[in-house]
Structure 1
Amino acid sequence: MKKTFLKFMMIASVLGTVMVSCSSDDDSGDKNTCSDGIQNGDETGVDCGGSSCQPCASTALEGEISDELTLDASLEYELKGKLEILDGGKLTIPAGTVIKATGGTASYIAVAQGGQIFVNGTASDPVVMTSGEASPAPGNWGGLVVCGKAPTNKGTAVTSEVADLTYGGTVSDDNSGVIKYLRIEYTGATFTNDKEFNGLSLFGVGSGTTVEYVQSYNGGDDGIEFFGGTVTGKYLVSTNSGDDGIDFADGWNGNGDFWYISGAAFAGIEGSNLAEEPVGVDPVTTTTLSNITVVGPVTEGALYYKEGGGNFTIDNFYTAGTDLGVKVKSTDTPAATRIEAEALKITNMQFASVADGFEKTDYTGANQSFISEGIATGAGNGAAAPDWAAGWTRGLDNSGVTESNLEGTITSAVSLQADVKYLLTSKLEILDGGELTIPAGTVIEATGQTSSYIAVAQGGKIFVNGTATEPVVMTSGEASPAPGDWGGLVVCGKAPTNKGTAVTSEVADLTYGGTVADDNSGSITYLRLEYTGATFTNSKEFNGLSLFGVGSETTVEYVQSYNGNDDGIEFFGGTVTGKYLVSTNSGDDGIDFADGWNGNGEFWYISGAAFAGIEGSNLAEEPVGVDPVTTTTLSNITVVGPVTEGALYYKEGGGKFTIDNLYTSGIDLGIKVKSTDAPAATRIEAGDLVITNIQFDAKATGFVETDYTGAKQDFYTEGTATGAGNGAATPDWATGWTVGL
């Protein structure tokens, strides 16, 4: 399991920025820590740096290597420019090394003719070359370029498309080193549409070179490309490439075995000989490929036989989800000539789960027998990730899990990654101008009780982009999870509250409130919060989701609080509306609103609240004439008991509530109103609490509809209700993304 440390911090500069840091939070220096094998005190690396230890070795990578250099797996390297291994130079990268690159087209690693690279990753500790940006994206840097002396039909001294190095020659068994268990991420920086980096570019690389167990992940262009040469590629993975998955051309005479390609934007495999092919130019692209999987969708076929194609023998070729098997341009005469001459032979090709409009091939020539269908296993498991890819890849169903610590402050746009498990051990704050985007399927595991929470300050935004099949999950990281293991999610906005216009939040100590009713703090959809509610005192506790003065332009939909120690979800003033909310096994109330909340609620499903199902209030010790008064319309609500303070607790002056289609089950009290709450009683008598179509089902022993004893007893009207959708049963809209229902 590969671990990285992602710490967000604001640095003093003209513009706030987000950066990666490996620093400890302990600022003390102690020489006794300089040989303990861990990074602590004020060390800037393991047993180095800071006020007491020896200086750390430089982690900056750029320049030229003309001798031998071995990296240190305990360090995280930064690549901000080109690093070239020249003739006679040798770079060795041990298992577990991480290199983070920034700089677009200026940042790449290149091996010149006569240079060698030894990437010595393992299945449990791959070498990772990735983006150093706060929000990684395809094209953040170049990639890895290797230039050898093996033949290519472009010539014997050709300049590489990127890195501007010479490649090609007559040394078929040229040796540029060993590349094993390497993961290359977010490559593909672009100069122009026809000049782009690939994840791994192999220019005239010889057969003495080993290329095995390599993945290109989220590259901007091709995942892996062979430009001539004789090197063989085994156990290759291309995932989410911006162009083709794996590409070979220019007289490549190597072979391929066990390739797994998914998510290619264009062709799964593009195989060609030479653009504008002249007659008699050698070598012709000639290869034997076996045990290949291409998982679509693709837009240019599982195989694109292009620019004269070549002599291809392919066996055990499995495709899934493609709409075209083999693509051949109708104007590609050299390719057609070779197909008619039986230079392209594909045996045991299986087309599984074909897309609408599927065609085996768009080739219209006489020879239609170049494809022979059969049962195929492809790279090992058909469409599923092969066993040999387990543990060292990313983005596959058997990939190893990368962990990253999450803490600090965010002042610009930052995006997390769904295939990384984030460890939250202290607070993470999104400050004014900062934006945090969390994609579907992301998991954040928190420990640290009251010190561990995520908070959005006024002017900050959070975008939780879960889906019904892949919710975002914020949960406990403890071995035995329990309520109160961590704080929760806190959002502070600028919308009105009757507590004031610049109030400090009960937890996270942030300012909230104001006059911007339509304030926008982002969007929260399909989020599951688990084991929240860390407690300072009985009157100061985190909820699962706390919304302080949040405005109406913020989206809060499809959110579950599960096994929280305090309220599941609470609105502290503001104007935001909450739809499709679930609170399960809360340690206090299921859903709570107060302090002049002027939003609405629709489709709430509450079960297992320790106190009230819903607690609705205006203001504790309510003074006269303080605005806004809590005002809301709630509809399609289910409360499943037992509860101890009613399905609804109308409290501290209550407010103006209109509630329809409220279903309750297994409760002993419908509506609770304290006998000493004079402001609440005044509002009930004035007709400010109106409940229609409330159904009391499966009543508990000693059931009472309400404990309110005032004159007005018709503020609620019974009727048949469906509540959140299915009465006491789980509503259909909660299926798949919730737990405990």
Structure 2
Amino acid sequence: MKKTILSVSLMALASMSHAVTDLALDEECNFNGTWDQVSEGPVLCELPLSIVEDDTVVLAKEVADGDYEGEQIIWTLPGIVVVGNGNIQNADPSTVDNTVLQIEAGAQIAGAVDSASALIISRGAQIDAQGTANDPIIFSSLDAGYDGSGEWGGLVVAGFGESNACPSGAISGGQMGDVCTMEGVASAAYFGSGHLSAPNAMSSGTLEYVVIAEGGHVISDGNEINGLTLYAVSSTTTINNIHVQGNADDGVEFFGGNVGISNMWMACNEDDSVDWDLGYQGVLSNVNIKQNDGAGYGLELANNPDNANALPRSKGIVSNMSIDFVGSTAPAASGIPFDLKQGTDGMFTNVVIGAGYDSPVKCMRTDSAVTGGSHWSVIEYGCDATHAGPTAWNLPASNSSATGFTASTFWAAAPSCP
């Protein structure tokens, strides 16, 4: 039987308008998953494909009571698990489901190895994943160790924020023309503005001390999925201390929105570490990137592939970043630090490009840029700054006073790049 707990202390963990409820599933899984124990070890609890409760659902680190009380839980993804119902077309932010998926510090979420699985937080829903430096929340595949890649999908968060790929004309009911769909997930998974008056007002929750490892499995249409994908997510969302490891696609990609991230480690991802487009305007601070053999660009940054001058124009701000190539062979032309294209703007301050990218490696590739303003401030590099492309992107002289961001990751179990 479904239980609703109305204690003030539990309600405060999510918001004052939410109670903590359960999904009326198996007791061994705190009633929030289906028990799938096949051998000794952690309790395996499979999540349902849809979680729509309009309340807070807690994924705990351990079993609360019963025969397995105190045992570790691994929450497994049987496929694409969607939280909330904001993925439907023309979802109304005033009536959309507001489920909060709360993940306790130290909890683990896993996709089966070689699984087309992912966790999607749809528009209007929230994720409340607050780990700690000593007890992070870990997303990975369901096998031993964390040194794989492409073994499951990834974490996807969608918001009602702005994307320059969506039309701005109103349709009936005060809604925007809702045509932006997620790539590689499902043809009917929508994101972006659904309300004319406040497109960036709704929070998608909190990610704090979260690890996303071994992802990038092909989900649909031959598309891999990023470690962390942020679709039109608002700056009212909090994301700090994120480590993305060994993803077969990008480490993190922003499709519009203006959410920022502080303290981010992108390690050994097999395509780009950071990718933004469709009008992204957030702030990335304290960024550490390590690219390996065969990887893509360190940062692949665009405005809009179909309209380079679409508004709002992508203009992310990156401050305090260290980026280096740690592979055994020189990076290919598609594996240089910066790819700036399709009308993006951007500002970069206190950046150190490591010795793995020293000349003759090019510092960047450009195909277009907006002019005016200072794009670069205090950057140290040994790569080749000459390139074909707009003069607006030319680097200033290398500045040895740059410090970048060299702090070690909070994740003690982080593997080395293969």
Range class of TM-score, shorter chain: 0.7 to 0.9
The alignment status of 1:113 with 2:93, answered yes or no, reads no
CA-CA distance at 1:327 after TM superposition:
2.1
Q: Using a 3 Å threshold, how does the CA distance of structure 1 residues 376 and 146 change in structure 2: closer, same or farther?
A: farther
The alignment status of 1:76 with 2:97, answered yes or no, reads no
Q: Distance in 2 between matches of 1:237 and 1:304?
A: 19
CA-CA distance at 1:137 after TM superposition:
2.5
Q: Using a 3 Å threshold, how does the CA distance of structure 1 residues 216 and 368 change in structure 2: closer, same or farther?
A: closer
Q: Distance in 1 between matches of 2:387 and 2:160?
A: 37
Q: Distance in 2 between matches of 1:238 and 1:345?
A: 23
CA-CA distance at 1:186 after TM superposition:
0.7
What are the equivalent positions in structure 2 for 1:87-126 lying under 5 Å apart?
87-102=97-112, 104=114, 106-126=116-136
Q: Which has the larger Rg?
A: 1
Q: Using a 3 Å threshold, how does the CA distance of structure 1 residues 193 and 64 change in structure 2: closer, same or farther?
A: closer
Q: Are 1:181 and 1:392, in contact at CA under 8 Å, matched by a contact in 2?
A: no
**Could you say what secondary structure the match of 2:320 adopts?**
strand
Q: Using a 3 Å threshold, how does the CA distance of structure 1 residues 225 and 343 change in structure 2: closer, same or farther?
A: farther
1:129 to 121, 139, 144: 139
1:221 to 243, 246, 249: 249
Q: Distance in 2 between matches of 1:130 and 1:143?
A: 8
Q: Using a 3 Å threshold, how does the CA distance of structure 1 residues 391 and 187 change in structure 2: closer, same or farther?
A: closer
Q: Are 1:346 and 1:372, in contact at CA under 8 Å, matched by a contact in 2?
A: no
2:227 aligned partner: 199
Q: Using a 3 Å threshold, how does the CA distance of structure 1 residues 391 and 104 change in structure 2: closer, same or farther?
A: closer
Question: What amino acid does structure 2 have at the position aligned with 1:153?
Answer: N
**Could you say what secondary structure the match of 1:166 adopts?**
coil
The alignment status of 1:314 with 2:344, answered yes or no, reads no
CA-CA distance at 1:148 after TM superposition:
0.3
CA-CA distance at 1:242 after TM superposition:
1.1
Question: What amino acid does structure 2 have at the position aligned with 1:78?
Answer: T
Q: CA RMSD in A?
A: 2.7
CA-CA distance at 1:363 after TM superposition:
3.1
Q: Distance in 2 between matches of 1:179 and 1:220?
A: 22
Question: What amino acid does structure 1 have at the position aligned with 2:61?
Answer: A
CA-CA distance at 1:377 after TM superposition:
4.7
CA-CA distance at 1:211 after TM superposition:
1.0
Question: What amino acid does structure 1 have at the position aligned with 2:80?
Answer: K
Q: Distance in 1 between matches of 2:232 and 2:157?
A: 8
Q: Are 2:203 and 2:237, in contact at CA under 8 Å, matched by a contact in 1?
A: yes
The alignment status of 1:287 with 2:316, answered yes or no, reads yes
Q: Deviations over 1:222-261 (max 9, x none)?
A: 0011110010111111111110011111100111100111
The alignment status of 1:154 with 2:155, answered yes or no, reads no
Q: Distance in 2 between matches of 1:207 and 1:365?
A: 30
1:64 aligned partner: 50
CA-CA distance at 1:347 after TM superposition:
1.3
Q: Deviations over 1:161-184 (max 9, x none)?
A: 133321111521320000011101
Query: Which consecutive unaligned segments of at least 5 residues does structure 2 have?
Result: 1-35, 63-72, 85-96, 168-177
2:325 to 285, 290, 296: 296
Q: Using a 3 Å threshold, how does the CA distance of structure 1 residues 263 and 154 change in structure 2: closer, same or farther?
A: same
Question: What amino acid does structure 2 have at the position aligned with 1:268?
Answer: G
CA-CA distance at 1:90 after TM superposition:
1.2
Q: Distance in 1 between matches of 2:201 and 2:412?
A: 29
Q: Using a 3 Å threshold, how does the CA distance of structure 1 residues 177 and 365 change in structure 2: closer, same or farther?
A: closer
The alignment status of 1:163 with 2:191, answered yes or no, reads no
1:701 aligned partner: none
Q: Using a 3 Å threshold, how does the CA distance of structure 1 residues 77 and 364 change in structure 2: closer, same or farther?
A: closer
**Could you say what secondary structure the match of 1:150 adopts?**
coil
2:377 aligned partner: 347
Q: Are 1:126 and 1:392, in contact at CA under 8 Å, matched by a contact in 2?
A: no
What are the equivalent positions in structure 2 for 1:43-58 lying under 5 Å apart?
none
Q: Using a 3 Å threshold, how does the CA distance of structure 1 residues 84 and 376 change in structure 2: closer, same or farther?
A: farther
The alignment status of 1:371 with 2:396, answered yes or no, reads yes
Which has the larger share of strand?
A: 1
Question: What amino acid does structure 1 have at the position aligned with 2:191?
Answer: Y
2:415 to 395, 406, 409: 395
The alignment status of 1:327 with 2:364, answered yes or no, reads yes
Q: Are 1:249 and 1:285, in contact at CA under 8 Å, matched by a contact in 2?
A: yes
1:589 aligned partner: none
The alignment status of 1:256 with 2:284, answered yes or no, reads yes
Q: Distance in 2 between matches of 1:243 and 1:193?
A: 18
Question: What amino acid does structure 1 have at the position aligned with 2:387?
Answer: D
Q: Are 2:49 and 2:81, in contact at CA under 8 Å, matched by a contact in 1?
A: yes
Query: Which consecutive unaligned segments of at least 5 residues does structure 1 have?
Result: 1-18, 25-43, 46-57, 397-417, 419-438, 440-741
Q: Distance in 1 between matches of 2:321 and 2:210?
A: 19
CA-CA distance at 1:282 after TM superposition:
1.0
Q: Using a 3 Å threshold, how does the CA distance of structure 1 residues 211 and 378 change in structure 2: closer, same or farther?
A: farther
Q: Are 2:243 and 2:411, in contact at CA under 8 Å, matched by a contact in 1?
A: no
Question: What amino acid does structure 2 have at the position aligned with 1:109?
Answer: L
Q: Which has the higher contact order (CA 8 A, sep 6+)?
A: 2
Q: Using a 3 Å threshold, how does the CA distance of structure 1 residues 237 and 361 change in structure 2: closer, same or farther?
A: farther
Q: Using a 3 Å threshold, how does the CA distance of structure 1 residues 393 and 166 change in structure 2: closer, same or farther?
A: farther
CA-CA distance at 1:118 after TM superposition:
0.7
CA-CA distance at 1:291 after TM superposition:
0.2
Q: Are 1:173 and 1:230, in contact at CA under 8 Å, matched by a contact in 2?
A: no
Q: Distance in 2 between matches of 1:259 and 1:229?
A: 19
- TM-score, normalised to structure 1, is 0.42
1:173 to 167, 183, 201: 201
2:174 aligned partner: none
CA-CA distance at 1:368 after TM superposition:
6.8
Q: Using a 3 Å threshold, how does the CA distance of structure 1 residues 229 and 183 change in structure 2: closer, same or farther?
A: same
CA-CA distance at 1:342 after TM superposition:
3.0
1:208 to 236, 239, 251: 236
1:138 to 111, 135, 149: 149
CA-CA distance at 1:270 after TM superposition:
1.3
Q: Using a 3 Å threshold, how does the CA distance of structure 1 residues 308 and 366 change in structure 2: closer, same or farther?
A: closer
CA-CA distance at 1:278 after TM superposition:
5.1
**Could you say what secondary structure the match of 1:195 adopts?**
coil
Q: Distance in 1 between matches of 2:318 and 2:101?
A: 30
Q: Distance in 2 between matches of 1:215 and 1:391?
A: 8
How many residue pairs end up in the alignment? 330
- TM-score, normalised to structure 2, is 0.72
1:520 aligned partner: none
1:305 aligned partner: 340
Q: Distance in 2 between matches of 1:342 and 1:193?
A: 40
**Could you say what secondary structure the match of 2:385 adopts?**
strand
CA-CA distance at 1:66 after TM superposition:
1.4
CA-CA distance at 1:200 after TM superposition:
0.2
Q: Using a 3 Å threshold, how does the CA distance of structure 1 residues 110 and 392 change in structure 2: closer, same or farther?
A: farther
Q: Distance in 1 between matches of 2:374 and 2:362?
A: 14
2:93 aligned partner: none
Q: Are 1:183 and 1:393, in contact at CA under 8 Å, matched by a contact in 2?
A: no
Q: Distance in 1 between matches of 2:376 and 2:271?
A: 23
**Could you say what secondary structure the match of 2:276 adopts?**
strand
CA-CA distance at 1:22 after TM superposition:
6.0
Percent identity, aligned pairs only, is: 24
What are the equivalent positions in structure 2 for 1:466-477 lying under 5 Å apart?
none
1:614 aligned partner: none
Q: Using a 3 Å threshold, how does the CA distance of structure 1 residues 229 and 367 change in structure 2: closer, same or farther?
A: closer
Question: What amino acid does structure 2 have at the position aligned with 1:161?
Answer: E
Question: What amino acid does structure 1 have at the position aligned with 2:160?
Answer: K
